[in-house]
Amino acid sequence: MISPALALFLLFLIVPIVLAFALAFTNARLISPRPPEFIGLDNFALLLTDPVFWASVRNTFYFAVVVVPVQAGLALVLAVLVNAKVRGTQFFRTIYFLPVVTSMVVVSLLWRFMYQPDGLINRFLEAVTFGGFTGIDWLNDPTWAMPAIMLMSVWQGVGFTMIIWLSGLQTIPAELYEASELDGAGTWHQFRYVTWPGLLQTRTFILVTITIAAFSLFTQINVMTQGGPLDSTTTVVYQAVRSGYQQLQTGYASAISLAFFAMVLAVSLIQRYLSRERG
Amino acid sequence: MSRRNRRIAAASLSVLAVAGLAACSSGTGGNADGPATISLWTHAGGNDAELDVVNGIVEDFNASQDQYVVEVQDFPQDAYNDAVVAAASSNNLPCIVDVDGPNVANWAWAGYIQPMGLPEDTFEGQLEGTLGRVDGEVYAYGYFDVALAMYSRQSILDDAGVRVPTLEEPWTKDEFMDALAKIDGLEQYDYALDMGTGGTGEWISYGYSPQLQSFGGDLVDRSDFQSAEGALNGPEALEWAQWFRGLVDDGYMAQTSGEDSTADFVNGKSGLLFTGNWADTTVKDAFDDAVVLPPPDLGTGPKIGAGSWQWALAEGCEEADGAREYLEFAHDTKYFVEYGNAVGLIPATLDAAAEIPAYAEGGENRIYLEMADQFAVVRPETPAYPFISSVFQKAASDILAGGDPRSILDKAVADIDRDIQQNGGYTS
Amino acid sequence: MTTMSTLSTTPAATTRAPGGKTNGTRRRSVLVTVLRSVLVVFFAFPILFMLVSSLKPDLQIFADLGSWRAFLPVGDVSLDNYIGVFDRVPFGQFILNSIVISGVTVALGILVNSMAAFALARLRWRGRGVVLSLILATLIVPFETLALPLLWWVNKLPSLEADGFSLAFKQGWLDTYQVQIIPFVANAFSVYLFYQYFDSIPRELDEAARMDGAGWFAIYRKVVMPLSGPAIATVAILTFLPAWNSYLWPLMVVQSEELRPVMIGLQYFFQMNISWGQVMAYSSLITIPVVALFLAFQRSFINSIASSGVKG
């Protein structure tokens, strides 16, 4: 029964991965009359000495390190809010989920407008600070471009994470809450000793899914900043795509992909190791 | 597919073609199964004005003979190149493709397209920038070109007290900087100048490499296209980079302008707009006193880009003769005029220009034609161009963002030179 | 009967607020409502901006950009952009293609991945653990990095083509529906979700069925799948969204206009002069069906995600 899936995995995932692996050791080009040649580790040597690649690695980690906890945390707050029995829960749930069902390309276009120097974000901040705030050119400031993309990414993805938290909350037996109430536990106490432990497995799940999504950061960058300003938002996947499609260097792009696989694999193994020890 | 295999394929195709000719001349004429299909791909998807012209030419051609039927497949512009590359990688190319001017050399080198093989006099009186030439052979021709220009309003220039530059006497660099300072001094605009710095992709190379060239630099050393050393990182290029970033530092121009610089200009956010002449109608509709200005002379004379979309004959076309017949049929002043009327850009031949009032001598758009004729510099005709352009796009963005010009340009040169060397100098 | 009651706690878990109906509840519920409403602003406004802009001419979108007018349908409001969209692209065709592609991907995805998960969760065979880990490891591979090798590879695959009444093999999958569907059917995440869910279904049910002489396939079809509605709904939505929004891949493999999905249609509006109003109108048009779908199924969908995939 597993064979259809295995066959499909083999055909459309394993074969391309093996191909990417093999191409990484060649100078294959997307458009070229010259046959690819085996060039050993040249691509990797080049990669390791390319400051843009290292900037990509740094940015990718920066993004993941911020977005994973922020998205998970905000989503938990939303889930608790939506889980409270107050009127209009359906409405709020739907609104929070709206960005999830909107295409990332469209979302990135919309936020590009809002992040303009004279755009809505600046105008809003000026209004709430009574003019105390002076506009930031969000996507063109090497300091702010990445946080701006983080905010948007959290905005887009948090609705989905919220639903996963919700599911976790709903599996915590109501009796536990009742029991703790009888013991006179306050809200925080209840959260700390009933809700949080009850969410252990949900936590692991959320950690893994957001981490993987965060490491694959690409669409937002491609639409909003193309890696700039001054490489402050370039990411590993973005570099792989840029080298492969725009610069036609299939071999080099494959080497970047391979480095990426190794990186994410290492991170997930570490995550697994850490969560295993604590669990 | 290796070059040799392609050669073999091409050779066997030409044998087939000869055989086909022989069959024709022996009197069978055409194909027993009816007319042969010639597929044609265009990037004009979503651009109805242009697509209608293409469809019109195809209809005329199909009606004019019964041996071939041309079938049009249109793609949206941004999806087009990927579709062609994918099709080429599976030997699925159509017979006739359109190709963006700067890609002609790359596609010819890769064996996507072949020399058109039309008589040289076909192209007499055509703007050189609208011909895709590689090693002297024409691989592609286009119906129109685009010019870079500056737009402002007479009232703005009058208020600022600067003279209106002309083709004969464009602004010098000093005059240009002076004009910016004066427009900036009016304090009526967010920015004195909008050069569309929010644009991405090929716009950056198309729009800003002519300014680099006007300073005396270039994207690559054109003597043999083997290196960018000295061209892209020489003193002229450095001077350009400092000037370019200086416009931002002086507050004359946004580091990244809005999503639509023409809309921002029309909405009164900038006093001077630098863009392509596709903005012409929008600007003139908005302002009665709109003026079209040539780009400034930054040292070696005003420079603008050249080479827009062109038509080419794909390698491996099974009906190459029919495709050639179509390309010859379609190279008719009538269609150049139709194109010119439909897209409003610069007609590629003088004959066609004479028939379009706006572009005829004394017409209000004649200035674009003159600029295309006098100032145009084609983007380097080398297979390395897509790579060079990608590197330049990043370099220009980094310079605008305030990076160190010298190290940015040196890195760009190193990247370009390595790519050329890795590709065996792009010699076939 | 114990088995049934264990089961029912999962899919129909009770919604329970931490806290409860004490006296402080009223104040807290006011606070919750205020907080929720503030968040609505954060989540809804970009989408509102899109809808409102779709009603305005290009120049006005830019003129309104820096003020609250960007969120208000004021000024020269009309449906012109929508008319322009229908003029410019064969919208019905694109929507239909996306429905077919997403629909078939979802249907096949549910079948193939649930079967795989069943084999992993229920059948005993050597190497099961290794296969599961391998499948999960593929979760880390973003599609962008595989697109080029995959493109090359699908070109080598034979496809069966009906030509009149005869069937013929042709090389290459370019420019078909299948190339937009088949590579995305098997999905590690879906296998994982099904696996988790199946794992929570008591094995006693299998054994009872086996007593009655049912084979594994019958158990899958008649026992496990009917109990897995929530997992199915979750996988359906999670397969649907990327399929609906796919862009890079169809860009590379689809040539005929008749086969293009909705996201490619967006490119039609990016010409030398970008028609931002039409971009907004088109974006709204391709988002609205998904939102409508979500609204229609929201209760069962949320409960379904809620009850599957959490036991990580």
CA–centroid distance for B389 within its chain: 13
Calpha distance A87→A92 (Å, rounded): 9
Please give the pLDDT value at position B351. Answer: 93
Confidence of residue B323 (pLDDT cuts 50, 70, 90): very high
Dihedral in degrees, nearest 10, Cα atoms C59, C65, C71, C77: -10
If one compares B20 and A108, the residue with the highest pLDDT of the two is A108
| Domain ranges within chain C, ordered by starting residue | 21-78, 90-307
Of A140, A142, A230, the CB nearest to B256: A140
What's the whole-number average pLDDT of chain B? Answer: 90
The set of residues, in sequence order, having a beta carbon less than 8 Å from that of B285 and lying 6+ positions away, is: none
Calpha distance C249→C242 (Å, rounded): 11
Please give the pLDDT value at position B89. Answer: 79
Calpha distance B111→B5 (Å, rounded): 11
Sign of CA dihedral C235, C236, C237, C242: positive
Whether pLDDT at B30 is above 60: no
| Domain ranges within chain A, ordered by starting residue | 3-278
Confidence of residue B33 (pLDDT cuts 50, 70, 90): low
Q: Which of A115, A110, A107, A124 is nearest to A145 (CA)?
A: A115
Residue of B nearest to C171 (CA): B90
Confidence of residue B3 (pLDDT cuts 50, 70, 90): very low
Q: Choose from B33, B51, B75, B280 for mutation: most chain C CBs within 10 A.
A: B75
Q: Tell me which residues of chain A, numbers 179 to 218, contact chain C at a CB-CB cutoff of 8 Å.
A: 181, 187, 190-191, 194-195, 201-205, 208, 212, 215-216, 218
Within 10 Å of residue B307's Cβ, how many Cβ atoms? 27
- B133 DSSP β-pair partners: B138
Confidence of residue B315 (pLDDT cuts 50, 70, 90): very high
Q: Which of B157, B160, B302, B298 is nearest to B241 (CA)?
A: B298
* Single-letter code of the amino acid located at C107: A
The answer to whether C291 contacts A113, with C-beta atoms less than 8 Å apart, is: no
Tokens of B229: 């050393």
Confidence of residue B220 (pLDDT cuts 50, 70, 90): very high
Sign of CA dihedral C257, C259, C262, C263: negative
* pLDDT tens digits for range A99-158: 998 999 999 999 998 898 888 888 888 888 887 788 888 998 999 999 999 999 999 999
Domains of chain B: 31-143+307-346 (3.40.190.10), 148-306+384-426 (3.40.190.10)
* pLDDT tens digits for range B336-375: 999 999 988 999 999 999 999 999 999 999 999 999 999 9
Element (H, E) at A188: helix A187-190
**A neighbour chains, 3+ CB pairs within 8 Å:** B, C
Query: Is residue B86 within 8 Å of C174, Cβ to Cβ?
Result: yes
Cis amide bond preceding A229, omega within 30: yes
Sign of CA dihedral C280, C285, C287, C291: positive
Whether pLDDT at B25 is above 80: no
Please give the pLDDT value at position B192. Answer: 96
Whether pLDDT at B210 is above 60: yes
Calpha distance B193→B267 (Å, rounded): 14
Q: Choose from C271, C275, C279, C283 for mutation: most chain B CBs within 10 A.
A: C271
Please give the pLDDT value at position B1. Answer: 39
Measure C27 CA to nearest chain A CA, in Å. 12
- B310 DSSP β-pair partners: B99
Question: Which DSSP letter does residue C138 get?
Answer: G
Please give the pLDDT value at position B26. Answer: 33
* pLDDT tens digits for range B261-276: 999 999 999 999 999 9
Calpha distance A248→A181 (Å, rounded): 64
- Count of pairs with CB atoms under 8 A, one residue in A, one in B: 75
* Single-letter code of the amino acid located at C99: I
Query: Mean pLDDT over residues B167-187, rounded?
Result: 96
* Single-letter code of the amino acid located at C207: E
Query: Is residue C33 within 8 Å of A91, Cβ to Cβ?
Result: no
Calpha distance B179→B188 (Å, rounded): 14
| CA distances in angstroms from C36 to A36, A196, A275, listed in the order given | 57, 22, 32
Calpha distance C6→A171 (Å, rounded): 12
Element (H, E) at C160: strand C158-163
The string of DSSP codes covering A17-69 is HHHHHHHTTB---SS-SSPP-B-TTHHHHHHHT-HHHHHHHHHHHHHHHHHHH
The set of residues, in sequence order, having a beta carbon less than 8 Å from that of A88 and lying 6+ positions away, is: C33, C36
Confidence of residue B410 (pLDDT cuts 50, 70, 90): very high
* C167: exposed, middle or buried (Cβ count in 10 Å: 0-12, 13-18, 19+): exposed
Tokens of B131: 């011909």
pLDDT in single tens digits along all 312 residues of chain C:
233 332 223 333 334 444 444 556 677 778 878 888 888 888 988 899 999 999 999 888 888 887 888 888 888 889 999 999 998 899 999 999 999 999 999 999 999 999 999 999 888 888 888 888 888 888 878 888 888 888 888 887 877 666 556 666 667 788 889 999 999 999 998 998 888 888 878 888 888 888 888 888 899 988 888 888 778 887 888 899 999 998 888 988 888 889 999 998 888 888 777 889 999 999 999 998 888 877 776 666 656 555 544 443
Whether pLDDT at B232 is above 90: yes
- B73 DSSP β-pair partners: B41
If one compares C51 and B24, the residue with the highest pLDDT of the two is C51
Of B46, B89, B258, the CB nearest to C155: B89
Set of chain C residues whose Cβ sits within 8 Å of the Cβ of B279: 273
The answer to whether C19 contacts A84, with C-beta atoms less than 8 Å apart, is: yes
Q: Choose from A101, A115, A191 for mutation: most chain C CBs within 10 A.
A: A101
| CA distances in angstroms from B137 to B236, B309, C58, listed in the order given | 32, 17, 43
Assess A264–C contact: CB distance below 8 Å, yes or no.
yes
Fold of C90-307: MetI-like fold (1.10.3720)
Q: What is the pTM of this model?
A: 0.86
The set of residues, in sequence order, having a beta carbon less than 8 Å from that of A212 and lying 6+ positions away, is: A264, A268, C139, C140
Query: Mean pLDDT over residues B84-110, rounded?
Result: 90
Please give the pLDDT value at position C303. Answer: 61
Q: Choose from C58, C62, C274 for mutation: most chain B CBs within 10 A.
A: C62
Please give the pLDDT value at position B216. Answer: 96
Query: Is residue A47 within 8 Å of A53, Cβ to Cβ?
Result: yes
Classify each residue of C208-230 as buried b or exposed e, where b means 16 or more C-beta atoms within 10 Å of its C-beta: ebeeeebebeebbeebbbebbbb
Element (H, E) at B244: helix B235-249
Query: Is residue A164 within 8 Å of A96, Cβ to Cβ?
Result: no
Calpha distance A96→A144 (Å, rounded): 25
Q: Does domain A3-278 have CATH number 1.10.3720.10?
A: yes
3-state secondary structure of B33: coil
Query: Mean pLDDT over residues A43-55, rounded?
Result: 94
Lowest-pLDDT range of A117-131, A227-241, B151-165, C105-119: A117-131
The answer to whether C36 contacts A86, with C-beta atoms less than 8 Å apart, is: yes
Measure B174 CA to nearest chain C CA, in Å. 31
Query: Mean pLDDT over residues B175-196, rounded?
Result: 96
Assess B81–A contact: CB distance below 8 Å, yes or no.
no
Whether pLDDT at B277 is above 90: yes
Calpha distance B33→B41 (Å, rounded): 24
Calpha distance B87→B79 (Å, rounded): 12
Residue of B nearest to A35 (CA): B2
Q: Tell me which residues of chain A, numbers 31 to 90, contact chain C at a CB-CB cutoff of 8 Å.
A: 78, 80-88, 90
Query: Mean pLDDT over residues B175-198, rounded?
Result: 95
Whether pLDDT at A21 is above 60: yes
Please give the pLDDT value at position C24. Answer: 62
* Single-letter code of the amino acid located at A215: F
**B137-141/B131-134 β-pairing:** antiparallel
Set of chain B residues whose Cβ sits within 8 Å of the Cβ of A234: none
Whether pLDDT at B63 is above 90: yes
